[in-house]
Amino acid sequence: MKNIVLLGAPGAGKGTQAALIANEYNIPHISTGDIFRKNIKEGTELGKLAKSYIDAGQLVPDSLVIDLVADRLRQDDAKNGYILDGFPRTIAQAEALDKVADISVVIDIELPFETIIERLGGRLVCMCGETSHVSLLGDSKTCPKCGAEMYVREDDKPETVRARLEIYERQTAPLVEYYGKKGNMVTVDATVGTIEKVFEQVKKVLE
């Protein structure tokens, strides 16, 4: 059983690597960002509460996130492991997670902020969870996985990206020290280039 946490700044490639890990090890990919976006699209109460924070690049309050994840981890498909992408993002979330889960490994995906800003500038996402970049798709915005039209995330606008990176530094980066002290964290250098090369490193950590 592998209970995995992926850490890293927005745009470091957590979502992409999480999807590959989920596929390779046949475990659910639990992305709090995806859960919120789905709720916003469906117009649920949670979606309405979360939307203003997300659009401003702020974190959704811990009180709205922690129970959501705890419930998700209790579902049957998470019994044999899972990959958490985008949670925890604060020390309070990490402490809450420690109470309900036994995390086998934390993978911290590191990428310099300049590269992140370039990437988020042209990022395209799909409702199916797929992520791509304008430089890969050219004029077509067709999702290579499901064929739907991909779109630019509301919070990928340049001013919002800056806010998200600042919040990452202040609230999420302290988790690197938190997990570093526990001794179950491994850092993966995402400057090695392609998605496949980063995934090779991730697999070495998991095997």
* Residues that bind ligand AMP in the complex, under the rule CB under 6 A: 10, 32-33, 36, 53-54, 57-60, 65, 86-87, 89, 93, 155, 164
Active site residue 162: no
99 is catalytic: no
Q: Which of 48, 119, 141, 164 is labelled catalytic?
A: 164
Q: Shortest distance, CB of residue 119 to ligand AMP, whole angstroms?
A: 12
Q: Indicate which residue of 41, 72, 79, 153 is catalytic.
A: 153
Query: Which distant-in-sequence residues (6+ apart) come within 8 Å of 82 by Cβ?
Result: 3, 4, 27, 28, 29, 30, 73
- By beta-carbon distance, which residue lies closest to ligand AMP? 33
Nearer to ligand AMP, 11 or 198 (CB): 11
Nearer of residues 59 and 73 to ligand AMP, judged by Cβ: 59
- CB burial of 60-77 (b: ≥16 within 10 Å; e: otherwise) equals bebeebbebbeebbeeee
Q: Annotated catalytic, 164?
A: yes
Instruction: From the candidates 2, 51, 89, 99, give the one annotated as an active-site residue.
Output: 89
State how far the alpha carbon of 37 is from the alpha carbons of 42, 55, 187, in Å: 9, 11, 28
123 included as an active-site residue: yes
User: What is the spatial distance between Cα 131 and Cα 114, in angstroms, rounded to a whole number?
Assistant: 19
- Return d(Cα 96, Cα 188) in angstroms, integer: 25
Q: Which two tokens stand for residue 1?
A: 């059983």
Catalytic residues: 14, 89, 123, 153, 164
